[in-house]
Amino acid sequence: MSEVAAPRRSWAERLDWRQLLPRLLAPVAALLIAALISSIALVISDKDPLAAFSSMLDYGTQPDSLVDILNKSTDYYIAAVAVAIGFRMNLFNIGVDGQYRLATLVAAAVGAAPFLDWAPGFLRIVLIVVIAMLVGAFWAGVAAVLKVTRGVSEVISTIMLNFIGGQIVAFLLTTNHLGVQAKGSNDVTTPVLPKDAWLSGIPLIPGSASDVKGFVVVAVLVGVGYWFLLGHTRLGFDLRASGQNATSAVASGVNARRMVLYAMLLSGGVAGLVGLSELLGERHAYSSSVGGLGFTAIGIALLGRNSPVGIALASLLWAFLARASQILDIEEIPKEIITIMQGTTVLAVVVAYELATRLSRRAQQRRVGAAVSEPGPDKSADRSEVPA
Amino acid sequence: MKVLVIVGVAAVALGTAACGGKSSGGNSDGGKKTVKVGLAYDIGGRGDKSFNDAAAAGLERVKKDLNLDVKELEANKDETDNDKLSRLKLLCTSGYNPVIAVGFAYAGDKDTGPIASAAKACPNTKFAIIDDASVKAPNLANLTFAEEQGSFLVGAAAALKSKTGKVGFIGGCQVDLIKKFEAGYVAGAKAVKADIQVEPNYLSTVADKCSGFNDPAKGQTAAEGMFDQGADVVYQAAGGSGTGVFKAAKAKGKLAIGVDSDQYETSAPELKDVILTSMLKRVDNAVFQFVKDEGEGKFTAGETVFDLKADGVGYSTSGGKLDDIKSKLDEYKQQIIDGKITVPSKPANG
């Protein structure tokens, strides 16, 4: 990297539109392609795409829908950041699902445990959060240790740990162990948290009777923390360096094994938070409703290109699609169209970014070529921008 | 089977204040009664050939016999309680009244779960939930079934037909509801043959979101295991997974018992000959009756049990495999109706 020699340039000067523009256009183009493909599917099934999209927009922007979208994207965001931390280091943490289910269960059980009766609600909430992060990190750590010591691919081990975690949850969530069951009900849950440990909502959206869950604040903090970690800490730098080129990272003194361990522990720790919004803000107990976001999160992380802001936008988009899909049934439009749209969006984004990367690289090469042929002091344009 | 379905049936009768207070003016001309009825499924949904399809059949009758508009909503995989609530609220705020939630998955917490919250949010809409008795509200009817009574009869049929003295039970999910099926089945089998061996197996638990209601491969493996160990009749209360059980019976040349719908009628032609009978759970009757009563102003909050007497459960005879023992089964049926036999609703081992 030749940045060392380059004179300091202002932020605005460093913005290179010829490089940036393709990257900004890529997601927009991807969305349009996805909309186009879903429109084709709609036309084939004899439905009017415009009517479908407009009723989605109409329903999806009602106050109640906005609340629901924010609540959903809170969960999506945290889960996708957990996945993205792994991605940055070239690790596929497919085990977010198992990590947060196990974490939520243990945290819920401890949070409602009678031996904590002396504790004020605030303390319980803190304890629940800490325990959830620790359990999530522990479960991801199992995969990390396997990888570091035995070379087991984390793709395989995290998937298998999902199943094992699911079975442990199934074992523990019975009335013999951590579960309780209301009379006449078929649902087994952990005991309900004491009222003072419920996280109250925030009346963010005027016109809606329901509140945005308080945990949205934690999601924002996770995002800020992720941004700070990546761009402003030694750990974040080492993480990105190992992800981009493990060999050169090792050559420059990064302990690759330790980075794998750190990245997985961090990823699992964040994953442990995924179920807490529902636990603290809605259900107040672990219920069978927890789980299932692990794979959604991978799509969202891909769509958001692992960037803190990108993931936020992708989460909001996903939540909007999920919410808006509900109206389609009422309009007699198969809502599977949303699944098609989500799938094509991710695919199109991957393709579009690949194209954008090539385009901007070509533009860069041209400029470097020009700069070399006519000697000048400036224009050391080979700052390789950091691809996600 | 029971499972994941929610049926939201809603009908807006003119003159009934629709939830949300808006009743569309276009419906009101001529003073005709326009009623919209909706049905929303949970995972598994329409096409499970079992529980969900039984609910769908009820809705079909509502549409045809009562001449009402109907609406069916499907659920997504891996959705949360909140998504279920959104669906119920979407129905009631769109002017559907009454709204029926079919499936205990829609119950959740008795105070804050989807059906409880929806009933609170739309106090003028009449709700019903099928297979749950834990949630109570002034505008909520709980429609439940005496599955153990119907299961008793098919248990007796299994024991009468078994040559090996060993029969199996496959439950979709280890919950109290499905344990009722097991309890009745075991009691029925033992009433015929006191020393019969009944092998139970559950495909999933609440913790894995009762995935065993929609996992034919798992159902097939479990049934093959039972047949290999000497069972020659297997009763499945496993919703969409039941197809796998039938396939296993076909492959091993053994018999299986269907559930909820008359599965001799709903199954693929090549599987028909393994189906000894089906335990009928007349979700269709419950749905139809509820909508009808509500329309006539006879809504009753709280639990209504559909049992043998009320024709809420029973057994099917299509396929003719029971012709020789039908009189015997009907004897048992009468004894249950008369209260001479009390069928347990919990298996002996809890």
For residue A344, give the nearest of A27, A77, A56 by alpha carbon: A27
**Do residues A77 and A222 touch, judged by C-beta distance below 8 A?**
yes
* C-beta of residue A267 within 8 angstroms of C-beta of residue A301: no
In this model, does residue A77 exceed pLDDT 80? yes
What is chain B's length?
Answer: 350
**What tens digit of pLDDT does each residue of B201-220 get?**
999 988 777 888 889 999 99
Contact between A326 and B87 using a beta-carbon 8 Å cutoff: yes
Angle between helices A256-271 and A121-150 (to 10 degrees): 150
Pick from B71, B86, B206: CB nearest A326: B86
* pLDDT tens per residue across span A144-191: 999 999 999 999 999 999 999 988 998 898 888 898 887 777 788 899
Which pLDDT does position B269 carry in this prediction?
Answer: 93
DSSP-assigned letters across all residues of B256-270 = EEEEES-HHHHS-GG
Give Cβ neighbours of residue A166 (< 8 Å, ≥ 6 apart). A98, A101, A291, B207, B208
Please, what is the average pLDDT of chain A?
A: 88
* Nearest beta carbon to residue B82 from set A68, A192, A288: A68
Chain B residues with CB inside 8 Å of A189's CB?
109
Which one-letter DSSP state was computed for residue A254?
Answer: -
pLDDT of B3 > 70? The answer is no
Task: Judge whether residue A90 has pLDDT over 60.
Answer: yes
Chain A and chain B share a number of CB contacts under 8 A equal to 112
Which residue's entry shows tokens 């939540």? Answer: A319
The pLDDT of residue B36 is 84
Distance from CA of B62 to the nearest CA of A (A): 18
Report which DSSP code applies to B218: H
Tokens of B313: 């459960």
Pairing of strands B127-130, B99-102: parallel
> At B316, is the secondary structure helix, strand, or coil?
coil
**In this predicted model, which residue has the larger pLDDT, A282 or B39?**
A282
State the Cα angle at A220 between A215 and A225, rounded to 5°: 120
* Cα A47–chain centre separation: 33
| B253-278 confidence digits (pLDDT tens) | 999 999 999 999 999 999 999 999 99
Q: Does position B31 have pLDDT exceeding 80, yes or no?
A: no
Query: Which CATH fold topology does B148-279+320-337 show?
Result: Rossmann fold (3.40.50)
Which residues, other chains included, contact A336 with Cβ-Cβ below 8 Å and sequence gap of 6+? none
Q: Where are the domains of chain B?
A: 25-145+283-306, 148-279+320-337
Probe site for chain B from A185, A193, A295 (most B CB atoms < 10 A): A185
The CA distance from A87 to A379, in Å, is 32
H-helix or E-strand spanning residue B8: none
In three-state secondary structure terms, B88 is: helix
Q: In this predicted structure, which of A261-275, B59-73, B75-89 has the lowest mean pLDDT?
A: B75-89
pTM of the model: 0.84
Which amino acid is located at A167 in the chain?
Answer: Q
User: Identical fold at B25-145+283-306 and B148-279+320-337?
Assistant: yes
CA nearest to A331 within chain B: B71
Put simply, the answer to whether A186 touches B86 (Cβ < 8 Å) is: no
Q: How far apart are CA A63 and CA A317, in angstroms?
A: 16
Contacts of A215 in chain B (CB under 8 A): none
Is residue A210 predicted with pLDDT exceeding 50?
yes
Nearest CA in chain A to B205: A170
Residue A318: pLDDT band with limits 50, 70, 90: very high
Beta carbons within 10 angstroms of residue B78's beta carbon:
16
Listed in sequence order, the residues at least 6 apart from A29 whose beta carbon sits closer than 8 Å to its beta carbon are A348, A352
Distance CA B182, CA B350 (A): 11
What is the distance between the alpha carbons of residues A359 and A290, in angstroms, rounded to a whole number? 42
Residue A15 DSSP SS3: coil
Q: Let me know: does A268 contact A141? Beta carbons within 8 Å.
A: yes
Please confirm whether the linkage preceding B98 is cis (ω < 30° from 0). yes
Average pLDDT over residues B47-63: 89
Do B121 and A209 make contact, defined as CB atoms within 8 angstroms? yes
Question: Does residue A4 carry a pLDDT above 50?
Answer: no
What is the β-pairing status of strands B166-171 and B197-202?
parallel
Is B25-145+283-306 a domain of CATH 3.30.70.3420? no
Q: Is the pLDDT of residue B313 over 70?
A: yes
Task: Please identify which residue in the block is written with the tokens 């949360």.
Answer: B80
Q: Which of A182-186, B152-156, B302-306 has the lowest mean pLDDT?
A: A182-186
Least confident interval from A87-96, A169-178, A212-221, B19-28: B19-28
